[in-house]
Chain A
């Protein structure tokens, strides 16, 4: 209600340019799906399709040859596969955070980015699911993961964190899809009502389920939305916590840490925001949507990244502190030799050979977002584009560091090894970008990528009461430049 009206006394401005009408929003969002794709879209789409083909080829090769074509070895039983899984799942978390948690906190600015981020969640979780499904080695037996009766008359072990993962990730995917779709219904109805051709009308009409904007429906709908937000909030916190249990419940030094669940969740939100922003900057430019995603939105997202970046930095520091404070030599070894490199040297006087991955992580994740302290950087599009890419790289390295640098030199020097990625590791990872981007580009092209109804609802003149509030607020200084938006 009045939350939609900016408080001018403390320097707040409307989220969208003053005087934006309902129709402006409908037009600018729907136009994307109704006009021919701009050239920029094709420039992105064709390579994405190529990468998708690469993914399919890699999966075919992997399934034919076996997981030995990956660089995984003894002692690195997990490597890029689980790194990529955790990374992609983390990417998805920003979407749920924006759509659910910011909704509960009444952060109205989320309306310009939530649809977009939710779509990313769904696609990112799909990409993530590929890796654990393949790393079982015989993906055609993956149905063992689910509690279905099978020929061995055995059930899954529900005490295993990996089993929790199966439930967490599948629940997350299902709920994200439902939440996303429910949010889409009114906007699909908008597209249906604007459709000129019968085919479009039929398709959007079928998907809109016969939505007619009835307030008797909105009443239930809003409650449903609230419930989805309320269940997604603990869900998103649980998913990455459960992912972190995969590590934290083991006895590996570097993994066996109680800080993991919050640390993973913060990292997930951090990386998710970064990828949302990277893609948002591109799409905003390609489709000319600067009026819907304003610098104010970008500024707020950058602040989020600064905040979560500091949380992640704190977790890195705390891990070191605990490694030293616990007095556990194996723990210290992992942190000071395997990761930091120079803290402990091995018998030949060498640094931990993968020290560079740790430093890549720290510089990308902790140092680069510090630039967001400056408003100039937070509102500079090229600067934030570069920083978000750094963060994405850094967050990938974080997972690589956690997994590989814990495993490659652990308790017994006799079982030490090293890790080198193979070309199929690299191609499969790149290929999942193909899947993600192809789905994503199809989404921006055919589905309203902004929550039309929700953006309308946060315009200053959207609600009868907001209008009255406006009048009160402006009484002391009427005639100010920032007059209340015109009632339509």
Chain B
């Protein structure tokens, strides 16, 4: 740029010989600015198309990854648009400066012509810069669109950092006493979807957490009675109705009751056992091998010697700030926001 400025100063007086006049310089700058503006608007168009395609991908496969890529592409397209309009404006300025320079040159006002030529050159520079920015934005839009494509094809966020969203707050305590105290506070604050995690069953936590008694016993009882009844029905069907077996002249029906007792008893026990096992699975919703709480490395100590309280995002009262403040008021050794992967 310094060269461009210096040259007309040194050789401006020699009209038409070797060195360009201010008029020529201005015209040249205006041309360059126009070219830059054209390029910028081309970038803009490409970026816009990329953004449209990315949005299309998102519409077809609405995953987090495609949404993210589409957003990126849209942002880049907007930027390209701004840059392109800046380039156009600069080109306009350069054009009018070139006209003024030509007029001044015609009128013989060489100094004014030079001034205008400089303006034109500066405007052309701005236009070039804007075009460059537009081109960068275009590149971004295209990259984003490719990402969206890829995400659409693989149905997942590729290679880059997995998407995360907050799942729960985890507070750690060192002693069961501290845990029980904290549990009472969380209970009194009215939370529902929260839990204590302990290496062994800590007594008194039922009350501290405000839990209702378990109904597992009902399930076991019903299962046990089913066992009892099915034993009677089985024996009666098999040994009395379907194929009567008379051993030692002993009766098969109700008179043979004592002989049925051992198997009635065993089947009662057997089905109570199964009922209890599957009832336990039902109430605890186990087996469940994935849970966001396992994202926390600190949580590994929950099966060793540390005590935890977790409050889930899904709770109605959950609030990123208030919940944290509540947990911090219970003197935990750590409070941690556990995030789960999505998509």
Contact = CB atoms under 8 A, between A and B. Distances in A.
A215 B202 contact: yes
Interface string B213-235: 01011001000100000000011
B279 A224 contact: yes
B193 to A, nearest CB: 10
B262 A214 contact: no
Contacts, number: 212
Interface string B236-280: 001100110101001000001001101101110110111011011
B113 interface: no
A210 B288 CA distance: 5
B291 interface: yes
Interface stretch (B34-42, B50-58, B299-307): B299-307
Contact of A227 (B180, B220, B245, B263): B220
Interface residues of A, number: 72
Interface in A176-223: 178-179, 182, 186, 189-190, 192-194, 205-206, 209-223
A155 interface: yes
B277 A224 contact: yes
Contact of B303 (A147, A163, A210, A213): A213
Interface in B292-310: 293-294, 299-305, 308
Q: Interface on chain B toward A: helix, strand, loop, or mixed SS? A: helix
Contact of B234 (A147, A164, A452, A464): A147
A1 interface: yes
B280 A153 contact: no
Contacts of A407: none
A465 B204 contact: yes
Contact of B277 (A154, A182, A193, A467): A182
B319 interface: no
Contacts of B267: 167, 171
A464 B200 contact: no
B258 to A, nearest CB: 9
A488 B199 CA distance: 14
A234 B242 CA distance: 32
Contacts of A209: 286-289
A463 B175 CA distance: 9
B206 interface: yes
Range class of the B interface residue count: 35 or more
A454 B202 CA distance: 11
Contact of A193 (B201, B220, B272, B300): B300
B82 interface: no
B256 A217 contact: no
A213 B272 CA distance: 25
Given A157-B245, A193-B303, A175 B214 contact: no
A423 B145 CA distance: 81
A213 B198 contact: yes
A231 interface: yes
Given A189-B303, A212-B302, A488-B305, A219 B214 contact: yes
A464 B305 contact: no
B175 to A, nearest CB: 6
B205 interface: yes
A175 B300 CA distance: 31
A405 interface: no
Nearest to B297: A193
A155 B199 contact: no
A157 B259 CA distance: 10
B286 A210 contact: yes
Contacts of B88: none
B196 interface: yes
Contacts of A206: 289
Nearest to A27: B304
A245 B261 CA distance: 13
A26 interface: yes
Nearest to A453: B200
B176 A464 contact: yes
B298 to A, nearest CB: 11
Interface in A128-168: 147, 153-161, 163-164, 167-168
A161 B200 CA distance: 42
A419 B89 CA distance: 116
B177 to A, nearest CB: 5
B225 to A, nearest CB: 13
B197 interface: yes
22 contacts: A23-B304, A158-B235, A158-B238, A164-B266, A186-B199, A193-B301, A193-B304, A210-B290, A212-B197, A212-B299, A212-B302, A213-B197, A216-B195, A218-B205, A219-B201, A224-B216, A231-B276, A238-B262, A245-B262, A457-B200, A465-B204, A467-B177
Minimum-distance CB pairs A-B, first 9: A22-B305, A155-B238, A209-B287, A164-B262, A215-B196, A457-B200, A190-B303, A218-B201, A193-B300
Given A155-B239, A159-B245, A218-B202, 5 more contacts: A21-B305, A157-B245, A214-B284, A242-B262, A464-B177
